[in-house]
Amino acid sequence: MKITSNTVVSIDYIVTDENGQVLDTTNGQDAMEVLIGHSNIVPGLEDALMGKEKGDRVDVLVQPDRAYGIRHPELIQEIDINMFEGMELNVGDSFLADTDMGKKPIVVKEIKGNTVVVDGNHPLAGMTLKFLVDIIDVRQATDSEIEHGHVHGAHGCCHGHDHEDGHECCGKHHHDEDHECCGRHHHDHDDDDHECCCHHHDHE
């Protein structure tokens, strides 16, 4: 069976940057399942998988505009530390911030006295990524999976659902967990779309 929209593909993968540094890998264990055609993985990788079959290997270089997008300087902001309601903060902490477009993930980049520098860009924004993918299996998605837009199962890539097994492949931003680099985190925000208001945040 060839990979098309509404098929489920099981993959092992390694993701590296342009210098060959490994950013994410399945380590040959617990292959990740992805529902194709539902924005569950970065567009450049999904495009490269189309038409491939079980047993194929895909080696593709994905530019930023087909991965996690370019970096947006306007998403780096200084906000009053009181917006965090007295929580203990450390550089690298991530939060869900209330914005005009709903809850959006931000990362603490710097703490300067009474202000905090936060970044709403994905950590891999602006980076060219190399994906080396082995296709383990391909099957037709179930009607329920197509309706819900994600794979049902232990290792599914499910855009917006958490996995207890550490496969954070789902378009979320839990950057201290494994297997997030295949997930789609692409943001296209205008200047006024990411106004940081960190009250009612969820610490990740």
Residues 132-187 pLDDT 10s: 999 999 999 999 999 999 998 755 654 333 333 333 333 333 333 344 556 554 33
Between CA 191 and CA 203 the distance in angstroms is 24
In whole numbers, what is the pLDDT of the chain averaged over residues?
80
CB 84 within 8 A of CB 197: no
Q: How many CA atoms lie within 13 A of 48 on its CB side?
A: 23
Quote the distance between the C-alpha of residue 14 and its chain's center: 15
Beta-bridge partners for 13: 133
* CATH 2.60.40.10, domain 7-68+124-157, yes or no: no
CA 34 to chain centre: 13
- CB atoms under 10 Å from CB of 189, counted, come to 17
**Amino acid identity for residue 183 in this structure:** G
Q: Name the β-bridge partners of 119.
A: 76, 107
| 156-157 and 32-35 strand pairing | parallel
Nearest to 49 by CA among 65, 64, 29, 32: 32
Burial 119-154 (b: 16+ CB within 10 A, else e): bbbbbbbebebbbebbbeebeebeeebbebbbbeee
pLDDT over threshold 90, residue 13 = yes
H or E element, residue 108: strand 102-112
Domain boundaries along the sequence of the chain: 7-68+124-157, 73-123+189-203
Structure tokens at 138: 């391909």
Model-level pTM? 0.71
DSSP structure class, residue 146 = H
Cα separation, 57 vs 173, whole angstroms: 27
Q: What is the pLDDT of residues 73-118, one digit of tens each?
A: 999 999 999 988 888 899 999 888 777 767 778 999 999 999 999 9
Fold (CATH) for 73-123+189-203 = Thrombin, subunit H (2.40.10)
β-strand pairing of 94-99 with 102-112:
antiparallel
Grade residue 33 by pLDDT with cuts at 50, 70 and 90: very high
- Residue percentage of the chain with pLDDT more than 90: 61
Distance, in Å, from the CA atom of 176 to the CA atom of 166, rounded to the nearest integer, reads 10
